[in-house]
Structure 1
């Protein structure tokens, strides 16, 4: 049964903000956990990315923040920088009803200096990865003595990545009297022992993932090893794939596939662990802004990847673990929308297909890739172009300022402006390809918020 947020004991400003953000009714995880969070109980929740879990802990957490106290009052630990950034962005949106709530992201892969500068000015909510949070504790640039809410997000992933000791160290720095919320997609033994060590009489909740595979059409194709690349092109053409994440099992395979598809004239970017964090951010932004069509990724790089309306996921290589396969394809077909999961496998990988079928408890039909019609022209050029602006949150640049500069002085139709992403020192805006050059020229000649910024077009 649909349950509106108005049934919760929340401030009227918060309820109005939720309405403006399009939060109409609670998802199952929100319905089960929010009343408990608001009561101050410890919770252990089994829920996947895409289930609405950020709001499930953030809405309650925000009611306990004292805006006049600039000490860190809430700490959210995440496995990756990407997830940390997404969580922080969502919390900032949910916190709009309160004045001056400061959210700081502390992750590895970027310079620690600016982070120390941000912390010197105080912060209410800290979001970050265990390694970097521990660095700040060691340097005494972060105090957790006033934390009243601690959240472990995607706890299973953090343990998989070897963060147990860091988490233990961090929790040791927080007050014993605090609320601890643990969210995990799976519930293995290490999670149970983590909960036993750090939570007080936690209440367990579990919801069926919002992206169950029932909305996802799976089509798998058998291919010889030597014809896999050609057969991937067949699949892309036959299914008219204009946007997809393509998974490989190794960094080497990602790089090789990326090179091949680029040679075929496709718009493609690689996402893997060898990339600098700045480049990783840019690749993800270009993909989410639809200025890049295909994202070739490894599982580690794609952790925390949460893209709305992703039409397709392609397994160029099937994973050994069936649960990883479900996690991969669960990135399409979100919130009841239809999704497409395509895959290639060789005869030697048939055992992987059998394991996936057994895990899903249903047989998987497959065909020979050669039967597909490859003589179809399909659109290879992405609809948008991303422009990079050399100014971000630290220069007080907001999405509305960029939109105003484009639609006002530059005279660009608002419909031609896509997603706008503002980071600390840089911002990105998606522009309809047909007017991208005009927008670039106008922004170079004009001003944003009364100031000149360097602008460049991303390739």
Structure 2
């Protein structure tokens, strides 16, 4: 997803001198270090690789006094338990309005948020496609009564803690684009009850009958994805796969090939449920029931499988 965001930013800035660089895992760190030496104006990255380079003292990344915009995308995923613990370390390095960030000076000697440097005003933006803000939290944002000190011990375990640690000030603007319904217009849903051993047969039938246009098949586990993709290839169905254990280059290659075929089939875990902008997806099949309701919204036909035990 980060690379796709980077591609959109590059397209938007192609008539300017603004340089955009992706810093993500699954790509050679040495190449990314060379790109950072050119001091790009925009860096799009994952917390893990960013913190790896920042804690290593990368000159461009630790000069946070000159940071104008700090954007947190997919905020709800960032605060999930066990995910992106490096994000808290990155946020702690951000300079505060009061002066030198005490946490930063204790955490790493490479931080360059120094008092003698004129700081730019920093705008902090927090984005999420699925998170819901409570009325109480909205009032706290308006009053500026978020208390970051109370969240220090607990870590980033809530959107309130994340916003407080990121330096949200009083009167923060909330832009809510929530629709009355999370389901896409003209969406047709079907629910298929079957035995576990019959699911591949039903899937093959659906791909045969509803295979016009691009199709995404979601699995909740990588083991199920590998089993289903192998079965479909045996049945001469040309499929691409996408999951979290693939290298970044392999993911991008699979997405490009899926985009390049008007009748392609992509079998994926929920890593494909966010951030992908692929037109012409006609059918979405949930081979296993999704963990959340917002796994996929862009489709004209959606099939859910449920196991039946006799």
Give the alignment's TM-score, normalised by structure 1.
Answer: 0.52
Greater relative CO (CA pairs within 8 A, separation 6+): 2
Distance 2:199 2:84 in 1: 39
Aligned residue runs from structure 1 range 135-150, under 5 A: 135-141=52-58, 142-143=61-62, 144-150=64-70
Distance 1:308 1:242 in 2: 10
Please provide the CA RMSD for this pair.
Answer: 2.3
Gaps spanning 5+ residues in structure 1: where? 1-82, 334-338, 349-459
2:160 paired residue number: 192
Aligned residue runs from structure 1 range 207-222, under 5 A: 207-209=177-179, 212-222=183-193
Asked whether 1:153 is paired with 2:64, we answer: no
2:296 paired residue number: 329
Q: From 201, 208, 219, give the equivalent of 1:237.
A: 208
Q: Which has the higher helix share?
A: 1
Q: Is the 8 A contact 1:269 1:292 kept in 2?
A: no
Asked whether 1:125 is paired with 2:96, we answer: no
Q: Is the 8 A contact 1:329 1:341 kept in 2?
A: no
1:115 paired residue number: 32
Alpha-carbon offset, residue 253 of structure 1: 0.6
2:150 paired residue number: none
Distance 1:273 1:163 in 2: 13
Q: Is the 8 A contact 2:218 2:267 kept in 1?
A: yes
Alpha-carbon offset, residue 174 of structure 1: 2.8
Gaps spanning 5+ residues in structure 2: where? 97-120, 134-156
Distance 2:79 2:201 in 1: 38
Q: Is the 8 A contact 1:268 1:292 kept in 2?
A: no
Alpha-carbon offset, residue 236 of structure 1: 2.0
Q: Is the 8 A contact 1:258 1:268 kept in 2?
A: yes
Divergent runs of 4+, >4 A: none
Give the alignment's TM-score, normalised by structure 2.
Answer: 0.76
2:302 paired residue number: 341
2:284 paired residue number: 313
1:249 paired residue number: 220
Alpha-carbon offset, residue 238 of structure 1: 2.7
Aligned residue runs from structure 1 range 333-372, under 5 A: 333=299, 339-348=300-309
Distance 1:306 1:158 in 2: 21
- Three-state SS of the structure 2 residue aligned to 1:203 is coil
Aligned residue runs from structure 1 range 370-385, under 5 A: none
Distance 1:161 1:225, change over 3 A: same
Aligned residue runs from structure 1 range 382-397, under 5 A: none
Asked whether 1:259 is paired with 2:230, we answer: yes
- Three-state SS of the structure 1 residue aligned to 2:22 is strand
Q: From 122, 125, 128, give the equivalent of 1:181.
A: 125
